[in-house]
Amino acid sequence: LRKQGETVVCVLPGHESEVDEFQCDRELVANAGKWVVQAV
């Protein structure tokens, strides 16, 4: 994703409440052993 010019933000455990500060419209999730970008 970074090579494609996307900004990648990692959320650490205990900081989930701060996610709104980033204004993200997608998230990277593991699905059936593969990483998938999906809308939030």
Distance CA 39, CA 26 (A): 4
Number of domains in the chain: 1
pLDDT of residue 35: 93
Q: Where residue 17 falls among pLDDT bands split at 50, 70, 90?
A: confident
pLDDT of residue 12: 78
Is the pLDDT higher at 38 or at 20? 38
Domain housing 26: 2-39
Is the pLDDT higher at 40 or at 38? 38
